[in-house]
Amino acid sequence: MDRIQFDRVSKRYTLGERTNAREALVAMARTLIGRGPGAAPELWSLRDVSFTVADGEALGIIGRNGAGKSTILKVLTGITAPTRGVSRTRGRVAALLEVGTGFHEELTGRENIYLNGAILGMARRDIARAFDAIVDFSGVERFLDTPVKRYSSGMYLRLAFAVAAHLEPDVLVVDEILAVGDAEFQRKCLGRMEQAEKEGRTVVFVSHDLDTLGKLCRRSLWLDAGQIRAEGDSKELVRDYLSSGLAPVGVGYAVVRGGPVTVKGVRVLGARGPSGQAMMREDSLSIEVDFSLAELVPGMDIALYVSTSQGVRVIDQAVSDREPARLEAGEYTAQLNLPPVLNVGDFVVGVWFGTAHTEFLDEPAAATFTLHGNDRGRPDRVLVYEHPVVVRPLSPA
């Protein structure tokens, strides 16, 4: 059965809307004397958005700033009403739309836990039963009887998420809130949301951390200018989303040099998708170089290398590393296949042609490419080798 139903929901905002009685009276007076403004411009944050979310399903929502993601969540949680269409949500909804949502800053952390539980419709005994787990998860035990107005944003976040996740809501709504916490806390939050899904609760998750979203949510919506551009499998949708608006991925330019070698093009392709799609950290890669030789060159060698955007060479492979090549005059493609060993980031492909005694061509920036995804909390690591570090006790002397 569907826990959430959106049926052709649209939301319109009027720009320059009057926000208090004084402004409204001034506007009325100007209208009476014929000096009122014309029709106020309108902004449609959502247009005819329809989707459903089943019991126990985790739905991700992605899209660029201003796409309408937060508006969907505000309509879903009843913070704002749709201009047109119908939004239905069954059961208790716990929403984490911004740091400290639902907290009263003059109350202590302890008092806010009970206040938030009451807002969710929880009985006091049910809140008391979850109290120790909330405090343990949040890590703010020392400050539990301190007014939350003295909390840091990180403490606010920890307590707010702990309350929302542990008071057993039927629907848990999280909007980009995890970006405030540290890596360890983000892992705890992700684990708690995964547990909530396994318990049969519905999760709606908005985040720019697309790797985390792909792990938590099997299905996602892609919002663009207030409309659903696509929906489906999260990992495929994330790849398409990252690819949209990008220049052709990993395509280099023609390099012509004197001598017998002419490089006509350099490409970097992800093994999981066609040319033009975003490449992910977990993708195998293929570097391809189209070139021609005007004549036979004895001892000809070809090297393909990859450097970081700071110029640190991390991969360098040559034809001669395996066996010398004997190439007659003609057209060729050199290919280097790489397993997923590079971390997230920007990289540059270089090409080299020559012999043991002569260099014909060395182009250190023949193509560039970017790997997207999660750096797993280690942004300074360039290469990712999945080899375990084994720790064992020393034998007694």
Q: What percent of the chain has pLDDT over 70?
A: 84
Tell me the average pLDDT across 1-16: 85
Helix (H) or strand (E) holding 29: helix 21-32
Where in the chain is CATH 3.40.50.300?
2-243
What pLDDT score does 335 carry?
93
Q: Please give the mean pLDDT across all residues of the chain.
A: 81
Q: Mean of the pLDDT values across residues 164-186?
A: 72
Confidence band for 247, pLDDT divided at 50, 70 and 90: very low
Intervals of CATH 2.70.50.60 along the chain: 255-372
3-state SS, residue 79: coil
pLDDT at 170: 86
| Average confidence (pLDDT) over 339-357 | 89
Q: In CATH, which superfamily holds the domain spanning 2-243?
A: P-loop containing nucleotide triphosphate hydrolases (3.40.50.300)
State the burial class of residue 250 (Cβ atoms within 10 Å of its Cβ: 0-12, 13-18, 19+).
buried
pLDDT confidence bin for 19, thresholds 50/70/90:
very low
Please list the alpha-helical segments (H only) found in 101-258: 109-119, 124-138, 153-166, 183-198, 210-216, 234-243
Q: Model confidence over 256-279: pLDDT tens digits?
A: 565 789 988 888 988 765 556 788
- Whole-angstrom CA distances from 122 to 112, 164, 332 are 13, 12, 71
Task: Say how far residue 76 (Cα) sits from the centre of its chain.
Answer: 22
Of 230, 251, 217, the C-alpha closest to 349 is 251
Q: pTM of the full predicted structure?
A: 0.66
Residue 144 has pLDDT above 70, yes or no: yes
CB atoms within 10 A of CB 157: 24
| pLDDT tops 90 at residue 125 | no
Asked if residue 293 lies in contact with residue 332, where contact means CB atoms within 8 angstroms, the answer is yes
**What is residue 47's predicted lDDT score, i.e. its pLDDT?**
93
The region of weakest confidence among 127-136, 209-218, 281-290 is 209-218
CATH architecture of 255-372: Distorted Sandwich (2.70)
**3-state DSSP call for residue 26?**
helix
* Higher-pLDDT residue of 395, 4: 4
